[in-house]
Amino acid sequence: MSFEPKIVAFCCNWCSYAAADLAGTARMQYPHNIRIIRVMCSGMVHPEFIMDALSQGADGVMILG
């Protein structure tokens, strides 16, 4: 089995979450390993969230905003 990383992404409702929606509308294809969590602003992402994700097995964390 090849390595399948698990990525948690925090996306701002007003920009990157909307961008991910548009990527769908445009049928752009990207790897399925990403799990998006919607936040109201990337500034809402508490450092603990990142620690939580990494300690619970995430291979990467993205904060997009």
Q: Which is closer to another protein, CB of 3 or CB of 57? A: 57
Closest CA to 39 of 56, 61, 59: 61
Q: Which is closer to another protein, CB of 3 or CB of 53? A: 53
Give the integer Cα–Cα distance in Å for 57 and 65.
23
With vertex at residue 31, the alpha carbon angle to CA 25 and CA 32, rounded to the nearest 5 degrees, is 85
Rule CB under 8 A: is residue 62 a binding residue for another protein?
no
Interface residues with another protein (CB under 8 A) are 6, 8, 13-15, 17-18, 20-30, 32, 35-41, 43-46, 48-49, 52-53, 56-58
